[in-house]
Amino acid sequence: MDTRLAGKVAIITGATLGLGKAGALLFAKQGASVVICDRGRTPQNAQRVLAEAEGLSGEIAYKRCDVMRKEDIQALVQFTLERFGRVDVMVNNAIIDNPGGLLEDVTLKDWEDGLFCHLTAPLLFCQQVVPVMIQQGGGSIINVSSGNALFGSPSISSYGPAKAGMINFSMSLAVTYGPYGIRANTLTPARMLTEKKFEMLKQNPAEVRRQNYVYPLGSPARPEQVAEVMLFLASDESAAITGHNLVADRGAAAFNPISVPGRLEANIRENLEAQGSEWIQAEI
């Protein structure tokens, strides 16, 4: 029987698709009671998660929550406490689309909305769950950041800065509340093969080919692979880890982008030689 989270209660925001969904199902498989949420704009997504959770050793409960609203955040935590009586794991995973561009293209509303969703909402959730965790004697907070937090971007938006802020916020939580048995870590994936990513790749064959060169392991991670890392941070197996930014990006952050042309050229040459192209000796 899978029992790595037996008896534990987790909240995962933005958990009806992608990484949040994969994490919720894995947590429930490992015996946890999991509360998931989204904005409720596509009820069928939540229904699919609940259906997939049937028969698992844990359970999943759904409640609509707009993380852009403080009162919704408070209501979600209260719902969790009333139903399950505790909160052992808090995963701040929800995101919103955050348009960007040149400086003159960035609107103040888009900037502030991105900061609120990706940095202020995690603060508000932690304000609600940390006192509960202190009373319980401990807990695990996992803030899901992004590869965009580690590098600059040709498109200015608040997404990268807010996700970078999550890393520092996690460190501060770890330092402040470690004496109470609370661990706080950041999980930083790159782009994953989520439902939206697959749709984008279907329309862009060139982008599919590019994946072979920007990820040392040859492709982006699947949400289920990153969810395994999330499970590790949630479980007692990571008891010695706090204040850490755990990067789970299939090697993208380790790869100097200057090396991409060299890898591309080597691949082209290999393919041409395999086809028996004689002119390659003169051209390369």
Options 159, 177, 213, 215, the catalytic residue: 159
Residue pair 281/220 in contact (Cβ under 8 Å)? The answer is no
Q: Is 177 a catalytic residue?
A: no
| Local mean pLDDT, 10-residue blocks, the chain (284 residues) | 91 97 98 97 96 97 98 98 98 94 94 98 98 98 96 92 98 98 97 79 75 81 96 98 96 73 58 56 48
| pTM for the full predicted model | 0.89
Question: What is the domain partition of the chain in residue ranges?
Answer: 9-250, 257-284
What does the pLDDT read at residue 283?
A: 46
Residue type, 73: I
Q: How far apart are CA 51 and CA 46, in angstroms?
A: 9
Q: How far apart are CA 40 and CA 62, in angstroms?
A: 10
What b/e string do you get for 78-92 counting C-beta neighbours within 10 Å, with b at 16 or more? ebbbeebebbbbbbb
Topology of domain 9-250 in CATH is Rossmann fold (3.40.50)
Write the secondary structure of 219-246 as one string of H (helix), E (strand) and C (coil): CCECHHHHHHHHHHHHCHHHCCCCCCEE
What b/e string do you get for 157-193 counting C-beta neighbours within 10 Å, with b at 16 or more? bbbbbbbbbbbebbbebbeebeeeebbbbbbbbbbbb
Residue pair 231/23 in contact (Cβ under 8 Å)? The answer is yes
What does the pLDDT read at residue 74?
A: 98
| 3-class state of residue 250 by DSSP | coil
Residue pair 18/192 in contact (Cβ under 8 Å)? The answer is yes
DSSP state of 215: S
